[in-house]
């Protein structure tokens, strides 16, 4: 559906986006995560034809967004992170207006507007003036607006920012409905756990670089493979025993790093999976080191996000 190839954007000398390559399959709900300034908005604006990339290409169903802008616009529904609304315009007129900008017929517009107001639960606000809506309602109306021409691909830039928890939950519901309707959705957020709950696949971006792209399962697998190993020795076992344990660990080739978190708590980072973990335990026990607790700390996504964006 969407294919980015070595997408680069420079603002003067500053590189906001550095060779981003990415593919999103049809019908996926794709999360786009990164800290402030990662380049999420920049990427989304390029895909939505609002910004020219410095180099690289973005294609939607084979349509190049730079060369065939107007063709691409028909395929995309874009909801920006910040946007304004017109005053002196009613909700249904607002949708009708954008419908006309997409050159829909009067019948199509009426039908779509009613359906969409229902989808975003604003039916009773149909005749209210747009600027009298609350922020969350405006965001929902803007989402409806981005759907008015029935696009295949939806680009949503932090659609849930400024929404209360209940509205966020409702937004999730709406997004799932959209996926069930067969739309491909690309949604950006700072909050990885929130996205991973509902997304099929994820991209993590930091300082314009791709950190990770793949399914949510792949991400947690990859991250748990990196989870540190916590080894707690018997309390009061003496400094000499701890030193022996450290020496023993250092001999193993797949240990990358050893930290002494507390007097008797060692944290080791290793490359490898279960076989290596077993070997460590075997070595320690065979040398009579009093191990009381031995486990790999499971990573939660909050931690993953922190780790991933620091390492890059």
Partner 1 sequence: MLNPILSFSATRRMRSGKTLVILGAWLAVMLGTALLMMGRLLGPEVTVNGLRSGTNCYIVLMIVQFFLIVLISPAMTSGTVAGERERQTLELLLVTNTRSLRIVWGKAMDSFGMLCLLLVCGAPVMFLPAVAGAVTPLQVLEGELFLLVTAFAAVCVGMLASAVARTSMAGGILAYLFVFGIAVVTSLPLFLDYPQAVTDIVYDPRALAQLSPGAATAMIFPVLFLNPGYGLIALLHGQTRFLSSALQYQQTGRLLCSFNLMDRAGGERIALISSGAVLLLGLALLFLSAAFVRRRGFGGKRKG
Ligand X SMILES: Nc1ncnc2c1ncn2[C@@H]1O[C@H](COP(=O)(O)OP(=O)(O)OP(=O)(O)O)[C@@H](O)[C@H]1O
Give the interface with Mg ion as residue ranges (CB under 5 A): 41, 81
Give me the residue label for tokens 């486990």: 295
Residues 172-211 within binding reach of ligand X (CB under 6 A): 190
11 binds partner 1 (CB under 8 A): no
98 binds partner 1 (CB under 8 A): yes
Instruction: Write down the least CB distance from residue 81 to Mg ion, Å.
Output: 5
Give me the residue label for tokens 């986006």: 17
**Strand ranges (DSSP E) for 103-200?**
153-157, 184-189
The binder of partner 1 chosen from 33, 76, 112, 268 (CB under 8 A): 76
Phi-psi region of 36 (alpha: psi -120 to 50; beta: other; left: phi over 0): beta
Residue 48 burial class via C-beta count within 10 angstroms: exposed 0-12, middle 13-18, buried 19 and up: buried
Neighbours of 33 (CB within 10 A): 30
Binding site partner of 88, from ligand X, Mg ion, partner 1, none, Cβ cut-off 5-8 A by kind? partner 1
36 binds ligand X (CB under 6 A): yes
The binder of partner 1 chosen from 88, 107, 236, 310 (CB under 8 A): 88
Sign of CA dihedral 217, 220, 223, 228: negative
32 binds partner 1 (CB under 8 A): no
The DSSP 8-state label assigned to residue 123 in this structure reads G
Query: Please, what's the b/e burial string for 201-212 (b: 16 or more CB within 10 A of its CB; e: otherwise)?
Result: bbbbbbbbbbbb
Binding site partner of 276, from ligand X, partner 1, Mg ion, none, Cβ cut-off 5-8 A by kind? none
Tokens of 61: 């169903």
Listed ranges 40-48, 88-96, 169-177, 293-301: which one lies at the site for ligand X (CB under 6 A):
40-48
Q: How far apart are CA 168 and CA 160, in angstroms?
A: 6
Listed ranges 42-50, 172-180, 212-220, 245-253: which one lies at the site for partner 1 (CB under 8 A):
42-50
Binding track, positions 133-172, relative to ligand X; x by CB under 6 A: ----------------------------------------
The DSSP 8-state label assigned to residue 244 in this structure reads H
Instruction: Write down the least CB distance from residue 65 to ligand X, Å.
Output: 16
83 binds ligand X (CB under 6 A): no
Q: Compute how many residues bind ligand X; rule: CB under 6 A.
A: 13
Site residues (vs ligand X, CB under 6 A):
11, 14, 16, 34, 36-42, 81, 190
């Amino acid at each position: 559906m969407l294919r980015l190839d070595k997408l680069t954007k420079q603002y003067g000398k500053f590189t906001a986006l550095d060779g981003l390559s990415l593919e999103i399959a049809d019908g996926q709900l794709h999360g786009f995560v990164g800290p402030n300034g990662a380049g999420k908005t920049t990427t989304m604006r390029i895909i939505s034809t609002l910004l020219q990339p410095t180099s690289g290409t973005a294609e939607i169903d084979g349509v190049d967004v730079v060369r065939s802008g107007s063709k691409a616009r028909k395929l995309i529904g874009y909801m920006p992170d910040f946007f304004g609304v017109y005053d002196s315009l009613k909700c249904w007129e607002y949708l009708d207006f954008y419908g006309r900008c997409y050159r829909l017929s009067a019948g199509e517009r009426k039908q779509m507007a009613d359906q969409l107001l229902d989808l975003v639960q604003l039916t009773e606000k149909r005749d209210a003036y747009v600027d009298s809506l609350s922020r969350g309602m405006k965001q929902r109306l803007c989402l409806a607006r981005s759907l008015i021409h029935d696009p295949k691909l939806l680009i949503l830039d932090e659609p849930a920012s400024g929404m209360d928890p209940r509205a966020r939950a409702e937004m999730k519901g709406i997004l799932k409905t959209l996926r069930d309707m067969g739309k491909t959705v690309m949604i950006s957020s700072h909050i990885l756990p929130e996205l991973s709950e509902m997304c099929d696949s994820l991209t993590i971006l930091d300082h314009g670089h791709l950190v990770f792209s793949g399914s949510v399962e792949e991400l947690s697998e990859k991250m748990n493979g990196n989870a540190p190993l916590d080894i707690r020795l018997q309390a009061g076992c003496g400094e000499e025993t701890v030193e022996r344990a450290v020496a023993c660990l250092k001999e193993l080739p797949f240990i990358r790093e050893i930290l002494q978190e507390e007097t008797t708590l060692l944290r080791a980072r290793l490359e490898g999976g279960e076989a290596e973990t077993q070997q460590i335990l075997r070595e320690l026990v065979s040398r009579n080191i009093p191990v009381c607790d031995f486990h790999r700390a499971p990573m939660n996504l909050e931690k993953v996000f922190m780790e991933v964006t620091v390492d890059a």
